[in-house]
Amino acid sequence: MEELSLADYLAILKWRKKYFFITFSALWCIALICALVWSNYRSTATVEIQQAQIAAEMTTPLGMNPLQGIEALADLRVSKIQQKVTSPSSLIDIVNKYDLYPTDRQVEPVTSIVGRMQGKIRLNLVGSTVANPAATEKVSVDQLSAIAFTLSFDYSNPQMAQQVTNELVTRFLDEDLKQRHAQAEATSDFLATQIAAMEASLADQEKKIAEFQKEHGAARPEALMFNQQAAETTMLGLQNLDSQLAANEGTMGQIRGQLAMVDPYSRVIADGQVLTTPAVQLKALQSQYTTLTAQYGPNYPDVIKIKHQIEALKSETGLKSKDTGRLKAQIEDMSTNLAAAENTQGPDSPDVISMRHQLSKLQDELAASYKSGGGSNPSDIKNDADNPGYLQLVAQLRSAEEQHKALIEQRSQLQTQQTKFQKAVAENPSLEQEMAKLTRDYDNAQLRYRDMKEKKMAADMEEQMIQDRKGQRLLVISPPDLPTKTSPSRGLIILGGFLFSLMGGIATVVLVQIINRNVLGSQHLASLVGVSPLVTIPHIYTKREAAKVRRRKPLMVFSSLFLVTATLLVVHFTVVPIDDLWIVVTHRLGLY
């Protein structure tokens, strides 16, 4: 393949002049004719999607970018409305109303005409994010208010084009308003039902929570700390009580001990005799009796006498002397004495034997008094004591006993409390979980509810704005114009035709060259054979040829002149009058 330089291309063009010119002229004539005959007029209206006059931030739901709020609707809405307005049925209405395409309607069915018509209606969005997504990210809502679209219609008659465009725009606006209303209403209704449902759900939740709290009362999870502390405190209290009880018992023991040592009866010395209460007397007699019995046996007359005294005294006082404490003490005394006597006097001495008798007698008595069922009163308190010291002690003992009782009572109370608190603490985790769940559900429900409420508010506002015409609406910025120029304008057709003819000419030349592939020019030849030609002999013109060429010249001149004139005429009548053009050009160039 040989490479062709620019010079070669020019050479080719020169060689194939004829082809070029013929093609060019033919196409150019066609273009001129087209320009003359072209009669497609386009009427365009511009409609702005005017932004709400109330700031968008107020009406968009929280969390939604105001830009998005606008954008999400603009493009979709416009195309939705477009579909409605340019639907076949709508267009058929228009065709009939304005009597469009009269000649076509006689031949074709209306539906196919309408199909073509749809192609002649153009809608272009201007300045929306669809066209320029990158820019709008940096742009504020106000700046974006340049969202608009153009609606245009092509027809062969300019007035008709204008009227139809006007009709389309009107329909557009009407449809938009209708749709907006419908949408706002639907949104509002939907939101209302949603809100009602939410409210019911919320009430339900609240009830559940209240129930739960009621059920578990003190064991409420939030009372955990309190419960724990209370358990602590009660435990401490219990410990305290226990120590108090112990102390009290100690005190009581002490008092009892003291009591045991103190003579319950006060010793009132009168007449050299000790006056004692009958109980004391009885006691003295009884001890006397035992001693004597031991010494002399039961049949001794003194012994019997004392026995009668005792019985008389007993019936007097009506007391059964459960003097086991005393008996015990006596037994102990006796044992000790016996042991001592045994040691000093030997086991067979008469004292020892009598002491033994006493001791066994005392033991029998003790056993008998036991048998007679006297639960030993450990305190062994004499009710008829009159010794103030003794009485004081008794009183102290009594109060200690009362205190003891109270302490025990307290203790048991505290114990129950503590059990309760401990139980509450133990139950806490599971309760906490449940409570957490319930509260969480509730909180979520609340959030949703709040959100719904906001949206509803926004929807209501939107509806209001539509009513007051303050919301987003379509506004005709420029009404459909009466086209004076065709679309595309004739000037453009001529220019385009020129370029096209040029290219057609070149294409023809190229085609011919490809088919013919001749050597063109000395350089081309050089590249083919490897050496430059020795000479390049130009075309030698014979006289005849020269004459022919000379004859051809005027023909060429004339045809070019014709083309130029034709062009000027066409331009004059269709684009701009030549004299105007001349003035403009000379003025511009400063030649005037």
Partner 1 sequence: MDSHDRKAIMDNLEKVLAKVKQQRAAVTPPGAADLSRSPLMAEKSPLPAAPKLATIDEAHLERHRILAHRTRNPDADIFRILRTQVLQIMNRSGYRTLAITSPNYGDGKTTIALNLAMSIALDLKQTVLICDLDLRKPNLYEYMGMEPTVGLSNYLIHGVPLRECMVRPPFDRLNTLPAGPALEYSSEILGSPKMAMLAHELKNRYPDRMIIYDMPPVLAQDDSAAFMPNVEAVLVVVRDGITRTDEIRQTVERLSNANIIGVVLNDARDAPKVKPPRIRKPG
Q: Which residues bind partner 1 (CB under 8 A)?
A: 2, 11, 14-15, 516-522, 525, 528-529, 531, 533-540, 542-544
Instruction: Give the shortest CB-563-to-partner 1 separation in angstroms.
Output: 24
Instruction: Give the shortest CB-485-to-partner 1 separation in angstroms.
Output: 44
Instruction: Give the shortest CB-526-to-partner 1 separation in angstroms.
Output: 9
Q: Which is nearer to partner 1, 217 or 538 (CB)?
A: 538
Q: Where are the beta strands (DSSP E) in 234-272?
A: 268-270
Query: How many residues comprise the chain?
Result: 592
E strand or H helix that includes residue 305: helix 301-317
240 Cα distance to chain centroid: 52
Distance, in Å, from the CA atom of 225 to the CA atom of 213, rounded to the nearest integer, reads 16
Distance, in Å, from the CA atom of 261 to the CA atom of 12, rounded to the nearest integer, reads 155
Residues paired with 121 in a beta bridge: 153
Instruction: Give the shortest CB-531-to-partner 1 separation in angstroms.
Output: 7
Q: Which is nearer to partner 1, 273 or 542 (CB)?
A: 542
Instruction: Give the shortest CB-571-to-partner 1 separation in angstroms.
Output: 35
Instruction: Give the shortest CB-17-to-partner 1 separation in angstroms.
Output: 9
Q: Which is nearer to partner 1, 130 or 528 (CB)?
A: 528
Q: Which is nearer to partner 1, 1 or 261 (CB)?
A: 1
Instruction: Give the shortest CB-534-to-partner 1 separation in angstroms.
Output: 4
Distance, in Å, from the CA atom of 149 to the CA atom of 44, rounded to the nearest integer, reads 10
Q: Which is nearer to partner 1, 15 or 98 (CB)?
A: 15
In this structure, how many other beta carbons lie within 10 angstroms of the beta carbon of residue 277? Answer: 17
Planar angle of CA 90, 165, 75, nearest 5 degrees: 75
Instruction: Give the shortest CB-20-to-partner 1 separation in angstroms.
Output: 14
Q: Which is nearer to partner 1, 371 or 553 (CB)?
A: 553
**Structural tokens at position 591:** 């030649």
Q: Which is nearer to partner 1, 467 or 516 (CB)?
A: 516
DSSP assigned state of 145 = G
Provide the terminal-to-terminal Cα distance of the chain, rounded to the nearest Å: 55
Q: Which is nearer to partner 1, 5 or 536 (CB)?
A: 536
Question: Is-contact 16 513, C-beta < 8 A?
Answer: yes
Q: Can you say whether the dihedral through the CA atoms of 126, 132, 133, 139 is positive or negative?
A: negative
Distance, in Å, from the CA atom of 296 to the CA atom of 298, rounded to the nearest integer, reads 7
Region for 101 from its dihedrals, namely left if φ exceeds 0, alpha if ψ lies in -120 to 50, beta otherwise? left
Q: Which of 163, 37, 170 is nearest to 100 (CA)?
A: 163
Residues paired with 44 in a beta bridge: 152
Find the farthest-apart pair of alpha carbons in the chain and give their distance in angstroms, rounded: 210
Instruction: Give the shortest CB-523-to-partner 1 separation in angstroms.
Output: 10
Q: Which is nearer to partner 1, 539 or 553 (CB)?
A: 539
Instruction: Give the shortest CB-553-to-partner 1 separation in angstroms.
Output: 17
Phi, psi of 270 (to 5 degrees): -145, 130
Residues paired with 344 in a beta bridge: none
Q: Which is nearer to partner 1, 134 or 534 (CB)?
A: 534
Planar angle of CA 88, 94, 100, nearest 5 degrees: 105
